Amino acid sequence: MATQFEQRPEDGSVMLPAATIAGTRYGASNREAGNAIHNASTGEVIGWQEHADAAQVDAAVRAAQAALDAWRNRTPASRGKVLHKIAESIAADRARLSAMQQRVSGKPPLEADTDVSDAVATFNYYADLCADISLFATDTLALPDDTVTGERQYEAVGVAALIVPWNFPMVTSAWKIAPALATGCTVVLKPSEFTSPVEHLLAEIMTAAGVPDGVVNLVNGSGEVGALLVAHPLVDKISFTGSTAVGRKVMQAAAQDMKRVTLELGGKSALIVRADADIEHAVALALGGAFANAGQMCSATSRIIVHDDVYRKFMAIFEAAVRALVIAPPQTENVSMGPLVSHAQRARVQALLEQGVADGATIAFSGALDNACTEGFFMAPVVVAEPDTANVLWTDEVFGPVACVKSFRTDDEAIALANDTRYGLVATVVTRDGGAARRYRNALRAGLVWINTPQLIFPQVCWGGLGLSGIGRELGLAGLRSYQELRHCIASRG
């Protein structure tokens, strides 16, 4: 971790501040108010995250409010230059950011490096949008009354509270911070207390890149800190990524003041393999969709639906591929999957697996941990065959390396199975038939459908889902508009 932070006298671990407000770091009012940060690959304590108190949350929001007018009154092009500088600085600091991801979360090098690339691309995308003056200009409207004129404009919502999870630190933060700053909003960011070191580095980078004091502030801590932030009367917009259960609480709190909300929540997504699919390719997509980031993805396609004609072939190749996965610490050669984020998360996933098996699910096969996994929070990937559609492993978001496979005979059956969920985030379809692909694209109840591709995510493509997967969209032009209010004016020509 960065050496400029204090150390705890008890164990010498790095102590991360409770809050960074208008460029100044603040320790916790109670120095025992905090949590240990672990290396997920070894279990060792590598830091201590202090927690903000109510006064610090209030100060952070007020700092953002104080900085708002100056920031939103800058030209979009001026804000865009700062965003380009942030992207440039993240790219230049790639090695340190990737190493931090690997050390805290245990991500394999390729996954950690991809996270850095995603953050760079996101800041560059919104910087480029700032150069398109039409996105910020006041438009003249044609009205049926010649005695008046009409105008339409988009303006910054105001102070945005951004709450991000632990599975993709920095990436999720970039998805929220970049469009917020592009529109002229100021923000208070609350990272996950388990993976906050990378957000602290990101805050340093943004300050060095020219983000004025007060435009980006951090408050750190658990859900209690997030609740204080969400409830603050000076917060105008909330963007939350996390579980559906917490998303409900955020929405209820936001309703008190009618705050604008974007909620990116859970998922229980399907990957459909038709009889005409390239099975080797389908298996590769299944591996990535179910076990990337150790399955800790809201977009995990952990319900794999395979046509009966190719089911046995798929399962044979899938089994060989799962058994060949190298589950190990990030420094291990050819590592393909890392650990879960914490002991508690691993215990939760294992408990769900045990519950599913107790209720009748059958484990078809599983992977194996590398010999290097002597410590840490590793869990071997597990594949369940033909679970009942009411089984918890089929219905609930496990958020770990557990995949279910079911067979189908007709497209109607596959579509019904895929759509039989209260979530609706993503789906993947593997087929050589263009007509079938179009039918699935239109029939699947999901915010994003991939056809024969890995889970590619571009800043230009909106991200978000239906049902319990959330409200609103991130990324794309819709991601920009989510930090803007639409206003109109009708004026007399006289």
Catalytic center residues: 264
* Tokens found for residue 28: 């916790």
Q: Give the span between the Cα atoms of 373 and 243, in whole angstroms.
A: 28
Q: Give the span between the Cα atoms of 152 and 18, in whole angstroms.
A: 41
Rounded alpha-carbon distances, angstroms, from residue 228 to 57, 161, 173, 241, 268? 7, 10, 19, 16, 30
Tokens 């001026």 found at: 78
- Nearest to residue 387, comparing CAs of 471, 303, 276? 303
